[in-house]
Amino acid sequence: MSNVTLHWAAAYIGKPWRSAGRGPHAYDCWGLVMRVCQVRLGLQMPEVAIGARAQDQFGALLDASRGQGWHRVDGAPRADDVLLMRNRAGDRHCGYMVHDGRHLRVLHADGHMTPTGPVGCVVAQTLEEAIAGGYREHEFWRHGE
């Protein structure tokens, strides 16, 4: 990310990924989105699981988000939108759209479990880079308007 030392997202980039990790030191994808929405927008997002074992909770997430003023956007994404994705296996993933002054990027906690523990961290990638990991479906959600 250009000018990363001057951008608010720099405080998150490189933080470790954790499965269901929520807090200032490690994040799963939804935990990161929840934290950024709280800090950036002053919004408390619903506490739900995202990922392979969370298919039944995804509908609850969407219902709760609509109730808080979020709506799906059909046009081009912009900063402060939330990106929801699904891969070929049906696993869900999410991120937060940020603009670094020159490029729109996806801030997301990208990782997986290995036999020795979690591997991954929070990254900021272009949309193309973020969905290159096999995400066949993606949609953007925006607050307000």
- 8 Å CB contact between 85 and 92: yes
Q: What is the CATH number of the domain that holds 36?
A: 3.90.1720.10
Range 28-65 burial, b when 16+ CB lie within 10 A, else e: bbbbbbbbbbeeeeeeebeebbbbeebeebbeebbeeb
Q: How many domains does the chain have?
A: 1
Domain assignment of residue 129, given as a range: 4-143
pTM of the entire predicted model: 0.86
Q: Stretch 112-134: mean pLDDT, rounded?
A: 89
For 45-100, how does the pLDDT look when each residue is reduced to its tens digit (9 = 90+)?
877 766 555 555 666 667 767 777 888 899 899 999 999 888 887 778 889 999 98
The region of weakest confidence among 107-116, 118-127, 131-140 is: 131-140
pLDDT at position 19 is 79
